Amino acid sequence: MHNGKAVVLVVEDSAILRMGAVGLVLSAGYEALEAHNADEAIRILESRSDIDLVFTDVQMPGTMDGIRLSHYIRDRWPPVKLIVASGKAILEESSLPEESRFFTKPYNDHAIVDAMACLLSAGRPPDPPGP
């Protein structure tokens, strides 16, 4: 977590969809980083130790798609949470690493925000009770 905010890396090759996803992350109160393909995402992950969640598309140009990227991240950075979305590939969550979620596009913004909140709160101590 950076400055008390969870850090979410959005990986999407479509600039318009990436901007929308970044806006969604920011509106949910998280810090957003962005990459246009898996190779750029890996470079960012290698350069930063504060990324809590990766929200990736499946179909992307480059050396790997979002499925391979999610497995690579799980193997190399096990604590990083994963959300995978696709408009073309219909996946079973069983083909994804453990503790990751899959959404079809167009996805429901509220469902994505809820999934982020759920994944990011997993493994954290509960908030202290209010006054």
Domains observed in the chain: 7-121 (3.40.50.2300)
Query: Which among 58, 77, 81 has a CA at the least distance from the CA of 8?
Result: 81
Q: What is the pLDDT of residue 6?
A: 96
Q: Please give the Cα distance from 103 to 51 (Å, whole number).
A: 21
Q: pLDDT for 18-74, tens place per residue?
A: 999 999 999 999 999 999 999 999 999 999 999 999 999 999 988 999 999 999 999
Task: Let me know: does 60 contact 33? Beta carbons within 8 Å.
Answer: no
Q: What is the pLDDT of residue 89?
A: 63
Q: What is the pLDDT of residue 122?
A: 77
Instruction: Please give the helix or strand (H or E) that residue 57 lies within, else none.
Output: strand 53-57
